[in-house]
């Protein structure tokens, strides 16, 4: 559970850094920027290896798209529970593979 909370906090930091710009929809450029930001944060502290970080970042973006959340929506307080759910599922999936 402690690791899960850690991953969620890393994802929140990534979203915060990523969301300094105004993104209304997912584009290849902002998808890449989010994934790189997330992977850099997770790998910086050594909590995930490169493969797991990439898998988790890809999973977060795909699940956000499935729920029709734009990059801007991820930072809104009303979507916090949905975002935590997405990160939790992706983290658990990366640990199972």
Among 3-12, 67-76, 78-87, whose mean pLDDT is lowest? 3-12
Structure tokens at 33: 């920027």
DSSP H helices, 1-97, are 2-18, 28-44, 50-66, 71-74, 80-96
Residues 27-77 have pLDDT tens digits of: 898 899 888 888 887 777 777 788 988 998 999 999 999 999 888 887 788
Q: Which two tokens stand for residue 3?
A: 């690791």
Q: Which two tokens mark 44?
A: 């910086």
**Taking a C-beta distance cutoff of 8 angstroms, is the pair 85, 6 a contact?**
no
Show the tokens assigned to 40: 């850099």
CA distances from 65 to 31, 48, 74 (A): 11, 23, 11
């Amino acid at each position: 559970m402690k690791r899960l909370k850690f991953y969620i906090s890393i994802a929140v930091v990534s979203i915060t850094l990523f969301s300094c710009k105004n993104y209304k929809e997912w584009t290849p450029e902002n998808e890449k920027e989010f994934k790189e930001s997330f992977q850099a944060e997770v790998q910086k502290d050594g909590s995930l290896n490169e493969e797991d970080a990439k898998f988790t970042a890809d999973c977060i973006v795909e699940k956000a798209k499935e729920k029709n959340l734009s990059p801007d929506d991820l930072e809104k307080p009303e979507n916090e529970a949905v975002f935590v759910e997405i990160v939790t599922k992706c983290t658990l999936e990366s640990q199972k593979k």
